[in-house]
Amino acid sequence: MRLSQMLFVTLRDDPADAEIPSHKLLLRAGYIRRIGSGIYAYLPLMWRVLQKVSQIVREEMNATGAQECLLPQLQPSELWKESGRWDTYTKAEGIMFSLIDRREQQLGLGPTHEEVITAIARDMIRSYRQLPLHLYQLQTKFRDEIRPRFGLMRGREFIMKDGYSFHVDEESLKKTYQDMYQAYSNMLRRAGLAFRPVEADSGAIGGSGSTEFMVLADAGEDEVLYTDDGKYAANVEKAVSLPADAEPSQFTTFAKRETPGTETIEKVTQFLNASPTQVVKNVLYQAVYDNGLTVLVLINIRGDQEVNDVKLQNELTKLAANYGAKTIISLTVPSAETQQTWTAKSLPLGYIAPDIADDYIAGNKQIHPKFVRFVDKTVVELKNFITGANEAGYHVVGANWGEQFTLPEIVVDVRKARPGDRALHDPTQILKSARGIEVGHIFQLGTKYSQALGATYTNEQGEEKPLVMGCYGVGVSRLAQSAVEQSYDKDGIIWPVAIAPYHAIVTIPNINDAQQVEIAQRLYTELNQAGVETLLDDRDERAGVKFKDADLIGIPYRIVTGRAISNGKVEVVERATRQSQEIPIDEVIITIKQWIKAATENKN
């Protein structure tokens, strides 16, 4: 392609509305254009990158025996009502765009395709002989994200590869899951990304596991905890660890103490000259279930620890049926204002004890009259602890479970693992923290959707069984931008060779020099014929401008038909290293072909 014929517009300055480097660079280099909040046009250079990423994804998927298809983006609401997700997706989380057609039928724009694919499986899979089966697609997804941001990283319209597999049993599912683990690792390695597979939260479905593939970058929205021995890595939402040992309490007899102005753990431990590990902290949350019922939650956890909201939400989802509900639609620490909507009398905030009475709650149809009481593992073994006295300005010390307080029945792990904690698999290993961009997620679904939609098969014994399912997603457009986030310098993008829009760019420093033009055009034609995807910068611009643009758009190899042509040579510059060398004109093609091979092949 000739730059003189392209829609080639680069910006000198950083666009005001872009925060992270990759977003700025893709805008500046003319890869993407913002059309609306979370809505972007993929311009020709970007589209080539996306096609390359898609091709790698296809090759790795096809190699596992998965088959490509294309499912509808317009999805009838009935399907989502069958799975029970219509209300959560359109109202609660509100992530699904929905619309009403001319026949007054409700439809959603596909944010994901479990419902559609399960309906197909229900109709078309009859026998164990048809299993296992794995279908995937590459398609634009729609999600009305609460905070669309960072360009393609979190769009409202984005490209995803999503695949769904069907199995007779868990064992078969696990095999495909392992294949996907390998396929995803291959994709990311081939795309030239530094990544880490991490254990991920699988929500309340439980399931036997899910793995996220994180591209390591400071701008990542996710936090990963890992150990240096390479044996443990998990999303902080899911991570587990050993808390620090509790210090023995100096209070050996139970007493109520006046502790004025000590609403926080820090203040009370300072006042009593005690360690936060001796404190039972009582944290209040407010959960709203999908049937509209509000439930107040009290968690007893050690004073030096924090509650992990995702773990807590999973525990509360397990209890949903007790409240006649299916899922949770919100989980918050209630503000003083919201507390007023349900308190019968004012709470001794900062001084709450584990046994705070239920009559603080003014229960009604919308508000459950009793606290859900969870005790975190960190305080089960605690002796002679400090905790609130249910009276403003007072704490108790030297308290014990089974004496002054009854241990709540539901013991949970809702503690947030933190960097610096010891690892469970080896306490000499210390958890470290890194930021990651989630580019892929593989998930053992089990029978959640097949049961909801009645998708069954007949086994060898002639029994009807629900299909066992897995699902596997890659954010194709997010992955492409992540590559930039991992690879750029002050002058622009440095594409990994495997996904660069073009391999090479031939730059003519002076288009008024006939010899420069002639050699450049010949090289341009021959490189393309030889399979080296090449741009020709034949614009009527100063050489400096052309070099700057070439650096900005990040093409791996730049070939300059400058002064060296008088010696039968051209200057070739590698974008990543900036190494420049003069190469005889008739060796350019073979040399660049070798470089491309070397840069992509050890990654295959």
Interface contacts to ligand ATP, rule CB under 6 A: 112, 143, 145, 154-155, 158, 160, 438-441, 473, 475, 477-478
Non-local CB neighbours of 521 within 8 Å, separated by 6+ positions: 536, 538
Smallest distance, ligand ATP to C-beta of residue 225, A: 17
Between 158 and 232, name the residue whose CB sits nearer to ligand ATP: 158
Between 226 and 472, name the residue whose CB sits nearer to ligand ATP: 472
Smallest distance, ligand ATP to C-beta of residue 200, A: 8
Smallest distance, ligand ATP to C-beta of residue 228, A: 26
Between 24 and 154, name the residue whose CB sits nearer to ligand ATP: 154
Is cis: bond before 132, omega within 30 of 0? yes
Q: Two tokens at 121? A: 């499986």
Phi, psi of 24 (to 5 degrees): -60, -45
Smallest distance, ligand ATP to C-beta of residue 165, A: 15
Residue nearest to ligand ATP (CB): 475
Length of the chain: 604
Smallest distance, ligand ATP to C-beta of residue 18, A: 16
Smallest distance, ligand ATP to C-beta of residue 440, A: 5
Q: What does the alpha-carbon distance between residue 464 and residue 458 come to, in Å, rounded to a whole number?
A: 4
Between 176 and 561, name the residue whose CB sits nearer to ligand ATP: 176
Q: Two tokens at 11? A: 């910006």
Between 418 and 478, name the residue whose CB sits nearer to ligand ATP: 478
Burial string for 566-579 (b: 16+ CB within 10 Å, else e) reads: eeebbbbbbbeeee
Burial string for 448-471 (b: 16+ CB within 10 Å, else e) reads: bbbebbebbbeeeeeeeebbbbbb
Between 235 and 561, name the residue whose CB sits nearer to ligand ATP: 235
Cβ atoms within 10 A of the Cβ of 51, count?
A: 16
Strand order in the sheet with 557-560: 534-537, 504-507, 557-560, 569-574, 580-584
Between 179 and 237, name the residue whose CB sits nearer to ligand ATP: 237
Backbone φ/ψ region at 208: left (φ over 0), alpha (ψ -120 to 50), beta: alpha
Q: What share of the chain is helix, strand, coil (3-state, %, to 5)?
A: 30, 30, 40
Q: What does the alpha-carbon distance between residue 403 and residue 62 come to, in Å, rounded to a whole number?
A: 63
Q: What does the alpha-carbon distance between residue 13 and residue 225 come to, in Å, rounded to a whole number?
A: 36
Between 53 and 553, name the residue whose CB sits nearer to ligand ATP: 53
Smallest distance, ligand ATP to C-beta of residue 477, A: 6
Smallest distance, ligand ATP to C-beta of residue 142, A: 9
* Residue 558, CA atoms < 13 Å, CB-side half-sphere: 27
Q: Are 466 and 451 in contact (CB under 8 A)?
A: yes
Between 22 and 390, name the residue whose CB sits nearer to ligand ATP: 22
Q: Are 296 and 371 in contact (CB under 8 A)?
A: yes
Smallest distance, ligand ATP to C-beta of residue 60, A: 16
Q: Which helix (H) or strand (E) holds 519?
A: helix 514-529
Smallest distance, ligand ATP to C-beta of residue 65, A: 21
Between 481 and 561, name the residue whose CB sits nearer to ligand ATP: 481
Smallest distance, ligand ATP to C-beta of residue 381, A: 35
Between 290 and 438, name the residue whose CB sits nearer to ligand ATP: 438
Radius of gyration, CA atoms only, the chain: 30
Between 112 and 429, name the residue whose CB sits nearer to ligand ATP: 112
Closest CA relative to residue 227, chosen from 210, 242, 209, 212: 242
Q: Are 507 and 538 in contact (CB under 8 A)?
A: no
Smallest distance, ligand ATP to C-beta of residue 143, A: 5
Non-local CB neighbours of 150 within 8 Å, separated by 6+ positions: 19, 20, 22, 23, 219, 481
Residue with tokens 């249910």: 390
Residue with tokens 């995807």: 533
Q: Two tokens at 51? A: 């096609």
Between 446 and 473, name the residue whose CB sits nearer to ligand ATP: 473
Smallest distance, ligand ATP to C-beta of residue 22, A: 13
* Maximum Cα interatomic distance, the chain, rounded to a whole number of Å: 97
